[in-house]
Amino acid sequence: MIDITLGHTPDSDDAFMFYGLASGKVSSRDFRITHIIEDIEKLNKRALNHELDVTAISVHAYAFLKDYIVLRSGGSFGINYGPTILAKKKILPTELSTKIIAIPGKMTSANLLLSLFSSPTKIKEIPFHLIPDAIVNNEVDAGVVIHELQVTYEQLGLHKIIDLGAWWHSMTNGLPVPLGINVASNKTLTLKQIRDFDTIFNTSIVYGLNNMEETLNYAMKYARGQTQNIILKFVNMYVNEITIDMGENGKKAIEGIFRLAREKHLLPKFPINFA
């Protein structure tokens, strides 16, 4: 039996994907799993310190990691949608470079997309769930929101300035926008063990999709006060065919965002290792 630490976020889509494993409905086979549940930027930092065997991270964070391999399963890709820039007052996208903009973390993919789109000079790191309040309370001029807030912002009277996922989709001739991935340490696990876990994770995701009602009920534990309809909409957005297996389109999207970041001198060149 192999003991592994498994990091994922307290978000409904992650909960949905891991339900099969967490509930025992899907066998973990030779793995004895300790689940570590923290927000994505904390997981990014824990991966940076190599504290976890397998973990969800932002795609952006992969640029700063060593000795981690990208799993084919469990990726979060937006298909013509993604992190969204909101503001209390209507402002033009071209004005964002001079505004104070809240981001959910420097290593998040939301921040990388913002930098690719606008190159802002004034950013403020705020926990993702507090960004809408920061906008409403005039602490920032605008903010990049992720998770369920992408579909509930109108309830707060906020304005959409731009959907960065839609911008990426149009700029890349239809590639999905790569937001989150799962990675495994090749310092603590062999390549065979990593691929075995990838297969198990794939099975957990498929189980969730084939058993929507019970899996959604579990995901509601992480709903942060949202209705089941909102959580279902969010899960349907980010648990899709590319989540089961990113395939060539997913790989192209990840390689593409890093290539563009290098061209804009935001990141150095580095190898991307897929399982």
152 pLDDT band, cuts 50/70/90, is confident
65 and 188, same domain (yes or no):
yes
Query: What are the beta bridge partners of residue 8?
Result: 37
Backbone angles phi, psi at 105, to 5 degrees: 145, 145
Flag whether 269 is in a domain.
Answer: no
175-186: per-residue pLDDT in tens?
999 999 999 999
Flag whether 270 is in a domain.
Answer: no
Nearest to 53 by CA among 9, 10, 128, 2: 2
Flag whether 215 is in a domain.
Answer: yes
Mean of the per-residue pLDDT values of the chain: 93
43-57: per-residue pLDDT in tens?
999 999 999 999 999
Flag whether 29 is in a domain.
Answer: yes
CATH number at residue 218: 3.40.190.10
Beta strand ranges found along the chain (DSSP E): 2-8, 31-37, 54-58, 68-70, 76-78, 84-87, 100-103, 122-125, 142-145, 159-163, 177-185
71 and 181, same domain (yes or no):
yes
Tell me, what DSSP letter sits at residue 175? P
Catalytic residue numbers read 147
32 pLDDT band, cuts 50/70/90, is very high
Residue 160 belongs to domain spanning: 84-171
* Structure-token pair, residue 130: 């507090």
- Cβ 102 vs Cβ 88: under 8 Å: no
pLDDT, position 252: 97
* Strand pairing category for 100-103 and 31-37: unpaired
- Cβ 198 vs Cβ 206: under 8 Å: no
pLDDT, position 170: 95
163 and 89, same domain (yes or no):
yes
27 and 97, same domain (yes or no):
no
254 and 188, same domain (yes or no):
yes
Given 171, 203, 221, which residue is the final one in a domain?
A: 171
Pick from 21-30, 147-156, 229-238: least confident: 147-156
pLDDT, position 234: 83
49 and 16, same domain (yes or no):
yes
158 and 230, same domain (yes or no):
no
140 and 196, same domain (yes or no):
no
163-175: per-residue pLDDT in tens?
999 999 999 999 9
213 and 183, same domain (yes or no):
yes
15 and 138, same domain (yes or no):
no
